[in-house]
Amino acid sequence: MEPLVNLTSRVAVIPEADIDTDTIFPARFLLLTVKKGLGRYAFHDRWTVSGVEAPGFPLIPGAADPARILIAGRNFGCGSSREQAVWALHDLGVRVILAASFGEIFRSNCFKSGVLPIVLPQADLDRLQTAGILTIDLATLTVAAPGLAPLAFEIEDWRREALMNGWDDVLVLLKTQADAIAIFEAARRAAAPWLFPTAP
């Protein structure tokens, strides 16, 4: 995973509330079994009407200077757990999403691909929408816009560390938890042996 420490970029704004992951990545494209190159399907049915490009949608694949920061409406990424929603946005170049709240599974999925979801109050987001360019800094946990005082945001320490270092979650778990997992499993096997149909 590509580390994310800080980022300055043009901002795309999709203010609509409750954008679900079916809208971000329509179900029919879930038949693809790859992870890369999914950006062309992001918000597909919002920017094309029967294959014709509808003007004005802020996140269109192939843009010359793609926005790497997205300001979205409340409850962004609700609904289906499909991680393709994150992979598609990442493929478009989006690395940071700001919203008043996120769908829980979507938020968790973001971190796995090096995308940072930032929760800020709607009033702050309304002001940032007009900023045009934002700077995000994970070292100081701030969002800065020209002419505005930097805003602080919070994320879990372990997630911040993983983002800043580009760590792979699976490898970290295996490396740091191996002993604890073995200890837990031994106790679990004793308490619920039917969950362990094979010998240790």
CB-side exposure of 40: number of CA atoms within 13 Å? 5
Give the residue with the Cβ less far from other proteins, 9 or 80.
Answer: 80
Choice between 32 and 63, CB closer to other proteins: 32
Residues within the interface to other proteins (CB under 8 A): 16-18, 20, 22-23, 26-28, 30-35, 45, 73-75, 78-83, 86-87, 101, 103-105, 108-109, 112-113, 156, 158, 168-171, 173-174, 177, 180-181, 184-185, 188, 191-195, 197-198
CA-based angle 51:31:29, to the nearest 5? 25
Q: Which two tokens stand for residue 141?
A: 């946990």
Rounded distance, CA 169 to CA 26, Å? Answer: 27
Q: Look up residue 18 and give its two tokens.
A: 């409750």
SS3 47: helix
Q: Nearest approach, Cβ of 20 to other proteins (angstroms)? A: 5
The smaller minimum CB distance to other proteins, of residues 16 and 53, is found at: 16
What's the min distance (Å) between Cβ of 63 and other proteins? 23
If one counts every other C-beta atom within 10 angstroms of the C-beta of residue 24, the result is 27
Q: By the 8 A CB rule, do 92 and 39 touch?
A: yes
Least distance to other proteins from the beta carbon of 96, Å? 18
Q: Least distance in Å: CB of 158 to other proteins?
A: 7
Note the Cα 104 to chain centre separation in Å: 11
**Closer to other proteins at the Cβ: 64 or 190?**
190
Closest approach, Cβ 46 to other proteins, in A, equals 9
From the list 189, 191, 15, 81, the residue with the least C-alpha distance to 199 is 189
Q: Which C-beta is closer to other proteins: that of 60 or that of 162?
A: 162
Provide, rounded to whole angstroms, the least separation between the CB of residue 92 and other proteins. 18
Considering the complex, state which of residue 57 and residue 133 has its C-beta at the smaller distance from other proteins: 57
Q: Which of 74, 79, 110, 77 is nearest to 94 (CA)?
A: 110
Tokens of 140: 């100081």
